[in-house]
Chain A
Amino acid sequence: MAGKNAPPEINASSMADIAFLLLVFFLVTTTMDTDLGLSRLLPPPLPDEIEEPPDIKQRNVFEVLVNSNDQLLVEGDIMQIAELTEATKEFVKNPANDVNLPEKELRTVDFFGNVEVSKQVISLQNDNGTSYNMYIQVQNELARAYNELRNELSMEKFGKTYDFYLETGDKDKVKAIRKIYPQRISEAEPKNVGGSR
């Protein structure tokens, strides 16, 4: 044993209890969930005197309507949600230069030189009775179409996916790809179509 004058040791056996107490407190009051979501930018509020909306040719608009029964009408045809991504990609890309699909114009983009960029706009309109689940699914499918197109383009040109450049923060390449496939989803001013509830 140590000498007579050694101070008595502090009993540390309750330390574990105190630590457990703290642990339980933090377990109860905190959450671990990270916030995930689809990011969107709302259009600014309409000015009082409404200007003439820019003329957009019918062939450049991809019309997506969702009614209160969560049914999908795309360009005048009923469609299942699973087909929406492919249809959107087909429309945006317009590989065969179809006259009913969007026009293209020549633009100069970094890395790519002169490329044909389609003048596509996606118009999304939903009813007041549409369920939020359906709305998010449609938004998700549209976003997926753009992401897949961008990935394909990026693979072709740089050999790496667009997601890779997003993660590594290569802003110039991301900007160039976005310029070729700009995400233009326009949401119509809310309307009560397909019967009121």
Chain B
Amino acid sequence: MSKFNKNKEKSTPQVSTASLPDIVFMLLFFFMVSTVMREVDLKVKMEQPEATEIKKLENKNLVNYIYIGSPTETKKYGTSPRIQLNDAFANVKDVQPYIETKRSEVNEAEIPLLTTSLKVDGDTEMGIVTDVKQELREAQALKISYSTREKVVKK
């Protein structure tokens, strides 16, 4: 040891890592508070259109999501747009039962507050979206929100 010490006159003191856990915990709590759990694994392409006149959806517990777009695995599922409910592909006819099950999961008093968020890929044709909207009307789920990204407006 003394052999090595000869070269250095003063060894620099080591940086204390005692506060490292505190810093990491701080980061951890920040992420725990500011983020939400991912709802589903997306199986469809999702490039949402941009809009300016948008509103934030409050109360995530009362929002049902319907995803529409062309499948990401085109070799397996083709390219025509599909509907995704929860974690699986679905048909237009499955929309009403989906809304009904979602309704049974919430308080009766909160049923009128339920919102359906349509997350639709921008390249999708309106035909399938209109079909889903008609189903939602039949299911009396009239509050909807077209999910979009925020457009940055140049001034």
Report which A residues bind B (CB closer than 8 A).
12-13, 15-16, 19-20, 22-23, 26-27, 29-32, 34-45, 68, 126-133, 135-137, 139-140, 143-144, 147, 190, 197
Contacts and interface: CB of A to CB of B under 8 A. Distances in A.
Contact of B37 (A30, A41, A132): A30
A37 B37 contact: no
B35 A37 contact: no
B126 A132 contact: yes
Contact of A45 (B20, B36, B140, B147): B140
Contacts, number: 149
Contacts of B138: 45
16 contacts: A16-B21, A19-B28, A26-B31, A29-B37, A30-B38, A31-B38, A34-B56, A36-B54, A37-B146, A40-B146, A42-B141, A42-B143, A43-B142, A131-B122, A132-B129, A133-B122
B63 A44 contact: no
B120 interface: yes
Interface of B: 17-18, 20-21, 24-25, 27-28, 31-32, 34-38, 49, 51-57, 60, 63, 115, 117-118, 120-127, 129-130, 133-134, 136-138, 140-150
- By DSSP majority rule, is chain A's interface helix, strand, loop, or mixed? mixed
A108 to B, nearest CB: 29
A42 B137 contact: yes
A143 B52 CA distance: 9
A186 to B, nearest CB: 14
